[in-house]
Amino acid sequence: MDSRPLISLADAKDALRGLFSPLPAVERALGECSGLVTTEAVVASEPVPPFANSAMDGYALRAAETAALPARLAVVGTLPAGSTSGPAVGAGQAARIMTGAPMPPGADSVAMLEVTRDLEDGRVEVLTSVRPGENVRMAGEDVGAGDTVFEAGTELSPAHLGVLASLGIETVRVHRRPKVGVLSSGDELVAGRSHPLRPGAIRDANRPALLALVEEAGCEPVDLGIVPDDEASLRRAMSEGAELCDALLTSAGVSLGDFDHVRRVLLELSGGTMTWLEVAVKPAKPLAFGAVGSTPVVGLPGNPVAALVSFELFARPGLRTMLGSRHPERSRVTAIAGHDLPRRPDGKLHLVRVVLSPGDSAALVARSSGGQGSHQLAAMARANALALLPDGPGASAGEDLEVMLLRPW
Ligand code: AMP
Ligand code: MG
């Protein structure tokens, strides 16, 4: 009989907090930086755009020429993007110009092609007036030389990488990307194409799912395979994994069962400092964690949904802390229950797998994604959010719910 006290989610997260810290700073080429977090501010040494240029295909001219319409102007040349020198544009003149081409001296604006008409005599007729500066992108309008473009602690998205490239920056100082080992434990587990399954065996679902979650969290996954339920094998696999990786995730073997060796081995390898909790959440109740040497190890539960929900609650924020993220948690928003979501009071927070979709109003509507057993992984796969149902009778249709976003809808 399990008589251990249940720990609230908040207390469990507090207990875990010291386990993870940001990895040291390294210099990395831009191409390796997607999802990494800067360790120092990035300052622009040059302006973007580097020179005033046309925002449109059209004619560069002096805006004052278009005060009276139509304006008929002599065309003094054509400026493609990338041109280095163009004729100056004087009174009564215009230069044909393409998007991105440097503004020629003398011109202060661009009339787009759509409001012009080429005349037979080689001149151009401008049919609407333009304002000074119209359709001109000024030097430094995006980023000025000397500007701090990104503060330390910026998570580099694809657009951030584009900005850095536009500044000619080839390497950035970032927190190193953690290597995260994942192993499955259990004598019943088989991987791959074993057909038919031997009696009593099941296929290892947790490892592929957790490896993908590790990658999605921005870390480098390391597949440490399936380890049988014996202490010697686990001791070897976990100490080698801790040596090789910056963090280690295991699944199964953290409950009270006779063969739950993961927590016993973790207790030993962590020098007795392992924490073993029964968290007041459903699924994902059992959790073991500790440091092996300096490597954080999280022992996730074995039931597949519990393993993945536990990853979301405990492992993902920890790994994202190692990445240096200042926002390691999944976003939470309010949604409306699309139907009754009943539950029994049991002292636990329930994390219900739901499909979130836009409703008729501005609100998001949450509906159960299917069977809610901790072994029913298909409903987890269909879900794009977890609804947080506090202890009590559950939620009624139309009630507000707090939901944790897993994927877009
Ligand atoms: P345990 O924590 O070892 O008692 O496992 C709890 C439940 O999860 C058992 O039904 C296991 O067979 C199942 N389980 C453990 N590991 C995996 C895995 N990697 N993939 C799928 N099911 C698993
Ligand atoms: Mg087991």
Q: What is the pLDDT of residues 115-164, one digit of tens each?
A: 999 999 999 999 999 999 999 999 999 999 999 999 999 999 999 999 99
**What is the four-CA torsion angle of 346, 350, 354, 356, rounded to 10 degrees?**
120
Tell me: the pLDDT tens digits for 260-313? 999 999 999 999 999 999 999 999 999 999 999 999 999 999 999 999 999 999
Same domain, yes or no: 394 and 350: yes
- Is residue 1's pLDDT more than 80? no
Would you say 139 and 52 are in contact if contact means Cβ atoms under 8 Å apart?
Answer: yes
Among the atoms of ligand 1, which is closest to the Cα of residue 252? 2
318 located within any domain: yes
29 located within any domain: no
252 lines ligand 1 (CB under 6 A): yes
Among the atoms of ligand 1, which is closest to the Cα of residue 229? 3
299 located within any domain: yes
Same domain, yes or no: 227 and 309: yes
Mutate to test the pocket of ligand 1, among 2, 183, 189 (most ligand atoms within 8 A of CB): 189
> Which among 137, 152, 167 is the end of a domain?
137
Angle at 40 between CA 34 and CA 46, to 5 degrees: 85
Instruction: Say what the pLDDT of residue 351 is.
Output: 98
253 lines ligand 1 (CB under 6 A): yes
Tell me: the pLDDT tens digits for 314-328? 999 999 999 999 999
Same domain, yes or no: 220 and 251: yes
236 located within any domain: yes
Same domain, yes or no: 297 and 200: yes
> Which among 270, 298, 322 is the end of a domain?
322
Average pLDDT value for residue range 217-236: 97
DSSP type of residue 331? P
Amino acid identity, position 305: V
Q: Is 41 helix (H, G, I), strand (E, B) or coil?
A: coil
Q: Which residue segment(s) compose the domain that 290 sits in?
A: 6-23+177-322
Would you say 383 and 406 are in contact if contact means Cβ atoms under 8 Å apart?
Answer: yes
Would you say 377 and 251 are in contact if contact means Cβ atoms under 8 Å apart?
Answer: no
280: CB partners within 8 A, 6+ apart: 6, 7, 8, 9, 347, 348, 349, 391
Residue 173 neighbours by CB distance under 10 Å: 16
**Domains in the chain, number:** 4
> Which among 322, 349, 374 is the end of a domain?
322
Helix residue spans in 323-391 (DSSP H) = 377-382
- Cα–Cα distance, 36 to 322 (Å, whole number): 10
Cβ-based burial of 121 (10 A; exposed 0-12, middle 13-18, buried ≥19): exposed
Among the atoms of ligand 1, which is closest to the Cα of residue 255? 2
Same domain, yes or no: 314 and 259: yes
Omega cis (within 30) before 70 = yes
- List residues bridging with 42 in a β-sheet: 150
Would you say 359 and 335 are in contact if contact means Cβ atoms under 8 Å apart?
Answer: no
Same domain, yes or no: 296 and 392: no
Same domain, yes or no: 183 and 304: yes
Short-list 354, 406, 81, 349, CA closest to 212: 406
pLDDT band per the 50, 70, 90 thresholds, residue 70: very high
Tokens, residue 115: 């409001």
Ligand closest to 375 (CA) is 1
CATH of the domain at 108: 2.170.190.11
Unique residue bearing structure tokens 């539950």: 343
Short-list 295, 264, 378, 347, CA closest to 6: 347
Edge-first strand listing for the sheet containing 123-126: 109-112, 58-61, 93-97, 71-79, 123-126, 116-118
34 located within any domain: no
113: CB partners within 8 A, 6+ apart: 56, 57, 58, 59
pLDDT band per the 50, 70, 90 thresholds, residue 2: low
Mutate to test the pocket of ligand 1, among 182, 194, 202 (most ligand atoms within 8 A of CB): 202
Tell me: the pLDDT tens digits for 155-191? 999 999 999 999 999 999 999 999 999 999 999 999 9
CATH of the domain at 344: 2.40.340.10
- Cα–Cα distance, 148 to 97 (Å, whole number): 32
Tell me: the pLDDT tens digits for 392-405? 999 999 999 999 99
Same domain, yes or no: 188 and 313: yes
- Cα–Cα distance, 168 to 154 (Å, whole number): 18
Same domain, yes or no: 364 and 397: yes
338 lines ligand 1 (CB under 6 A): no
Ligand 2 midpoint to CA 389 (Å): 28
31 located within any domain: no
Same domain, yes or no: 158 and 228: no
Angle at 385 between CA 384 and CA 387, to 5 degrees: 150
Same domain, yes or no: 183 and 244: yes
- Is residue 3's pLDDT more than 70? no
1 located within any domain: no
Mutate to test the pocket of ligand 1, among 303, 311, 375 (most ligand atoms within 8 A of CB): 303
Short-list 239, 218, 229, 245, CA closest to 184: 229
Same domain, yes or no: 101 and 67: yes
33 located within any domain: no
Residue 91 neighbours by CB distance under 10 Å: 11
Tokens, residue 41: 């501010």
- Is residue 104's pLDDT more than 90? yes
Helix residue spans in 360-402 (DSSP H) = 377-382
Amino acid identity, position 89: V
